[in-house]
Structure 1
Amino acid sequence: MARTAHALHILVKHQEQAKDILKQIQKGSKFQTLAKKYSSCPSGKKGGDLGEFRQGQMVPQFDKFVFSGEILTPTIVKTRFGYHIIKTLYRT
């Protein structure tokens, strides 16, 4: 059976902006509110919610973090699309 995960993300073009957003999250700002404000991904309208997806559906760097990184700890990951702040909610 394929592994699945559920994640939120915020996509921005510049590393400095990603770092600034991550700092805001660490200071207590709501992830979903910042996603709606800053994310260039259509999922931003849903608070960055990507829903549940299978391993291998996302670009390699994104996939690797979601399926092996920390759960519930927002982290910056660079892909060909830009800089993602990813928060993995769970994985199976």
Structure 2
Amino acid sequence: MARTASALHILVKHKEQAEDIIKQLDQGAKFHVLAKKYSSCPSGKKGGDLGEFRQGKMVPSFDKAVFKGEILVPQLVKTKFGWHVIKVLYRT
């Protein structure tokens, strides 16, 4: 059976901005509010919600972070699209 995960993300162009977003989250900011404000991905309008997806569906560095990183802890990942702040909600 294929593994699946559900995650939120915020996509920005610059590492410094992504690091600032993580600081805001650490200070209690709501992920969905920051996603709507900063994310350049269309999912930003939905609070950064990517829904549930299968392992191998996303670009490799994003996929690795989602399926190997901590759950519910914001993490920073670089892809060809830019810098992502990712929060994994669950994995199966």
Number of equivalenced pairs? 92
Residue of structure 2 in register with 1:30 after alignment:
30
* Alpha-carbon distance in 1 for matches of 2:21, 2:66: 19
Residue of structure 1 in register with 2:63 after alignment:
63
Q: Which runs of 5+ in 2 are unaligned?
A: none
| 1:1-46 deviation digits (Å, cap 9, x = unpaired) | 1000000000000000001111000000000000000000000000
Residue of structure 1 in register with 2:82 after alignment:
82
* Alpha-carbon distance in 2 for matches of 1:20, 1:67: 24
| 1:29-74 deviation digits (Å, cap 9, x = unpaired) | 0000000000000000000000000000000000001001000000
Residue of structure 1 in register with 2:91 after alignment:
91
* Alpha-carbon distance in 2 for matches of 1:57, 1:42: 17
After the TM superposition, which residues 17-56 of structure 1 pair with which residues of structure 2 at under 5 Å, given as runs?
17-56=17-56
Aligned sequence identity (%)? 77
**TM-score w.r.t. structure 1 length?**
0.99
* Alpha-carbon distance in 2 for matches of 1:21, 1:65: 18
* Alpha-carbon distance in 1 for matches of 2:26, 2:46: 21
The secondary structure found in structure 1 opposite 2:45 is helix
Q: CA deviation at 1:78?
A: 0.5
Question: What's the RMSD between the two structures over aligned residues?
Answer: 0.3
